[in-house]
Amino acid sequence: MTRILKIGGSILTDKSRPLAARPEEIDRIAAEIATRPEDLVLVHGAGSFGHIPAKRYGLPQNFSPEGLRQTHLSVARLCEMVVESLGRAGVECLPVHPLSTAMLRQGRIESFFLDPIKKMIAEGIMPVLHGDVAMDASMGASIVSGDQLIAYLAGKLQSETVAVGSNVDGVLVSGRPLAEIKRDDLVRFEDDIGTSAGVDVTGGMRGKLLELLELADRGTESVIFHAGKEGNITRALKGERVGTRIVRSK
């Protein structure tokens, strides 16, 4: 059984400044992942490495080959930092770039070449994916967020745990994290659940929640937790209670 962990770009980078990685945070996260790396697929967000170039070139609405190249190279650089840090922490891992493995339609994953990911897991190597630009059958190209990737992969890999590390304590209502949320609750909390601070082209907390509610509807529950607080990633990987659980409507 695989497990999926997403670490938001807001934890790995300063989302308000271009190319501002947080190397100490990346190393801390790698050390926490190293406590329980078995059968784990890591997906990380793009943070300022993705959202800022994407916005500069008007992606995904505007088709720009130069924008695609610049944005991809930028997020691939962040991925390289994460992979190097995990390697130093003793975790065998390899980068998997969605640009080269996914095909989208209307911004949604239509097909994905999963064989390398499955083989890596079988060989004890952690695949590391990230939010990326990708070719799109109807739009030329679009953006695939880490949240869309985890929802897709969790279904295809039949994951038992899906943990989404963000820079807030979960789904906040009046500043406090809900213990759990299901689709039926969405209308009631609509006004509280906003988009994220800083530059975000993939929908912030609302976009994240919609992906995870869809996943819950298909039978896989998940958790959104604060990955910037030391120890939380380790806790989430052990299946301990952290943050807000995204559960299926009864």
Residues that bind ligand IPE (CB under 6 A): 8-10, 45-47, 50-51, 54, 71, 75, 131-133, 143, 145-147, 200-202
Nearer to ligand IPE, 54 or 247 (CB): 54
| Shortest separation between residue 71's beta carbon and ligand IPE, angstroms | 5
Could you tell me which residues come within 8 angstroms of residue 233 by beta carbon, excluding any fewer than 6 positions away? 5, 7, 29, 32, 33, 163, 165, 227
Nearer to ligand IPE, 188 or 228 (CB): 228
Nearer to ligand IPE, 147 or 169 (CB): 147
Q: Which residue has the tokens 């670490």?
A: 7
Q: What type of residue sits at position 129?
A: L
| Shortest separation between residue 49's beta carbon and ligand IPE, angstroms | 8
| Shortest separation between residue 124's beta carbon and ligand IPE, angstroms | 26
Q: Give the pair of three-digit tokens for residue 207.
A: 């976009």
**DSSP-based three-state secondary structure for 50:** helix
| Shortest separation between residue 55's beta carbon and ligand IPE, angstroms | 8
Give the separation between CA 152 and CA 99, rounded to whole angstroms: 15
Nearer to ligand IPE, 115 or 133 (CB): 133
Q: Give the pair of three-digit tokens for residue 117.
A: 């990911």
Give the separation between CA 40 and CA 124, rounded to whole angstroms: 9
